[in-house]
Amino acid sequence: MEHTIDAQGRTIGRVASDVAVLLRGKSHPTFARQLIPQDKVTVLNADKLQISERRAEGKTYRSHSGQPGGEKKETLARLRARKGTPELLRKAVYGMLPGNRLRAVMMKNLTIKK
């Protein structure tokens, strides 16, 4: 099943949670957590997401190289300038999906258009 979500004027978390529910297949009466969902989700107008200045400067993304002192921090505003708004939405949806083998399969069913 194909779903289309218009992100214009909505906050990133609200859109991401709607997308995560659809990708997971929880909107179907036959939902089973161990089955591969067949739903495809397309998000339109990702560049028109509503992101406040406080969120852009306060939200940080962290990664670690595994080496001592290898922690890297990046603000939402800097990541948005570097990679674009679709990457922010992709990271938000990724964090809302369960961390199992099906997460990669579900993420392949997500298409984000500027």
CATH of the domain at 92: 3.90.1180.10
Q: How far apart are CA 47 and CA 57, in angstroms?
A: 18
- Count of residues in the chain: 114
Residue 28 domain-assigned? Answer: yes
Residue 66 resides in a domain: no
For 74-96, what is each residue's pLDDT tens digit? 999 999 999 999 999 999 999 99
pLDDT at 109: 97
In the chain, the number of structural domains is 1
Q: Is 30 part of any domain?
A: yes
The residue among 112, 113, 96 whose CA lies nearest residue 24 is: 96
Cβ atoms 57, 71 nearer than 8 A: no
CB 6 within 8 A of CB 45: yes
Q: 42: burial class by Cβ within 10 Å (0-12, 13-18, 19+)?
A: middle
Is residue 77 included in any domain, yes or no?
no
pLDDT beneath 50: ranges in the chain:
none
Residue 63 in tokens: 């990664």
Q: Does the residue 16 lie in any domain?
A: yes
Domain extent, residue 21, equals 2-52+85-112
Tokens standing for 20? 């995560």
